[in-house]
Amino acid sequence: MALQHFLILYSLKEAKLVRLADFGADVARATEAYSDLEREYRERDDHDDFEIVLVGADSIDTLHHTHSRYFREGARIPFAV
């Protein structure tokens, strides 16, 4: 199975997943989206309250297992690019 790229936006203050985007195998698009999100949040006063992570995994199920701290609520929110 090909490596999929997932972009995660996590609120440290609220301890909840804010955004999850699946870019499939498109690493260039995933990296660009990561850079854009970093730039957007860097300008915010509360930027230290958020964690932005670009992760590679073979499936969403693997991501839930390897990065379970982002999914503690148990809900799988819809992908949002």
Cβ within 8 Å of residue 52, ≥6 positions away: 7, 8, 9, 10, 34, 37, 38, 41
Nearest to 50 by CA among 79, 16, 73: 16
* pLDDT, tens digit, 9 for 90 and up, residues 65-74: 999 989 876 5
Cβ-proximal residues to 66 (8 Å cutoff; 6+ apart), any chain: 55, 57
pLDDT tens profile 5-46: 999 999 999 888 999 999 999 999 999 999 999 999 999 899
